[in-house]
Structure 1
Amino acid sequence: MADYVLKICLLGDGAVGKTSLVYRYIENRFSRDFKSTLGVNLLKKKLTLDGDFAGKTASVQIWDLGGQQAYRKLRKLYLEGSQGALVVFDITSQASFDHLDDWIGSLIEIRGDKVPMILIGNKIDLEENKVITQEQADEYAKKYNIPLILTSAATGEKVEEAFKDLIMTIVKTI
């Protein structure tokens, strides 16, 4: 039995790489041909914590929410009981960045403004197609006083760190 059972959600528009981030974290694999998530995809990972919680275990339920507008009405159901979120945008998509307020607003409305979250700028391996600058992302993260981590599900860069940081933040608040 795990010492901690956690529910975290991945939020963001369709095609920002949420499913790719989850599979990179859980199975350390990447595929360019994931299908759009319909509704929600639920995955689990068991891990041993470190630092102040060395030797303790966590069972993490990762809820990958479909980003299409059609699933907006289901957000409350999916976000209920979540203890934290990775809010993901694609650095090559202005629209995904512009919609962050909607995603964060839903999370705060349902879980309150103290829920741990990390802003994720994904697809940093596509630097030549970047439309969102580091400065824009930093400024946005400051607006909500949340950490920003730039990741690449394709290469795995900082993916483990993003999940681990969120999990440790949640555990420290329990």
Structure 2
Amino acid sequence: MLLIGNSQVGKSCLLKMFCDNEFSFDVISTVGVDFRNMERDFDGETVKVQIWDTAGQEKFRTITSNYYRNAQGVAVIYDVTNEESFNQVNVWFEEIKKNAPEYISTVLLGNKVDLEDERVVTKEQGENLAKQNNCPYFEVSAKSGVNVDTAFNKLMDSSYEKLKKFGKPKTTNTVNFKKGKDKKKSCC
């Protein structure tokens, strides 16, 4: 699974809340990618899940685009107190369409709902954008934990169902080297 969105929307804090059930103000910005491993039971089968926390800065997008290919699920995250992060959501969905398998599971998460007095993006705007991108929408708070487990579990369940139905994504990042014809050397 991938967590994507602009820088400072709370991807790392959401991951920490989901995996460790704790919030920290001391989280530093992700450089490149970071990940956490966990095990989850699906239909009596224990499955290892990797959740990749990607850097939101533009300069890292070419690095993180490689991680879409093998992903089964993506959470697109924006900050409800930052309109620019909301305005960039469709750019992130375009990245998914360009780089991920077509049957990938997605969710849209509006983070930082604990900061209600600073909110600039309404719940209705988030719901409409999720509907446009054909995915579930959750308003979450990495600080209080509101809806974090529900959202992540929904993404994992959907990803697992699609994995059972379609199998693992086929990677296309192999390079074939062909030996060229030897050219005769001449001085003229």
Instruction: Determine if the TM-score, normalized by the shorter chain, exceeds 0.5.
Output: yes
Q: How does 1:25-174 map to 2 (within 5 A)?
A: 25-49=18-42, 53=43, 55-173=44-162, 174=164
What's the secondary structure of 2:114's corresponding residue?
A: helix
Contact 1:16 1:88 in 2 (8 A): yes
CA deviations on 1:73-132 (whole Å, 9 max, x unpaired) are: 113212220111010000000010011111111111111442100000000100000000
The 4+ residue runs of structure 1 with deviation greater than 2 A are none
Aligned to 1:13: 6
Distance in 1 of aligned mates of 2:109 and 2:153: 13
Q: TM-score, normalised by structure 2?
A: 0.84
Does the 8 Å CA contact 2:78/2:85 hold for their aligned counterparts? Answer: yes
Q: Take 1:153 and 1:77, find their aligned partners in 2: how far apart are those partners?
A: 26
CA-CA distance at 1:58 after TM superposition: 1.8
The answer to whether the 8 A contact 2:69-2:101 is kept is: no
More helix by share: 1
Match for 1:24 among 17, 36, 43? Answer: 17
Give aligned pairs, total. 163
Structure 1, 150-159 or 55-64: larger mean CA deviation: 55-64
Using the TM superposition, name which of 108-117 and 27-36 deviates more.
108-117
Matches of 2:136 and 2:102, distance apart in 1: 14
CA-atom RMSD, angstroms?
1.0
Q: Encode CA deviations 1:7-66: one digit per residue, 9 max, x unaligned.
A: x000000110000000101111100121100000111111223xxx2x222211000000
Q: Aligned partner of 1:80: which letter?
A: R
Shift of 1:143: 0.5
CA distance in 1, matches of 2:134, 2:66: 26
1:36 counterpart SS class? coil
* Structure-2 separation of matches of 1:134 and 1:116: 21
In the TM superposition, what is the alpha-carbon distance from 1:166 to its structure 2 partner?
0.6
In structure 1, list runs of 5 or more residues that go unmatched: 1-7
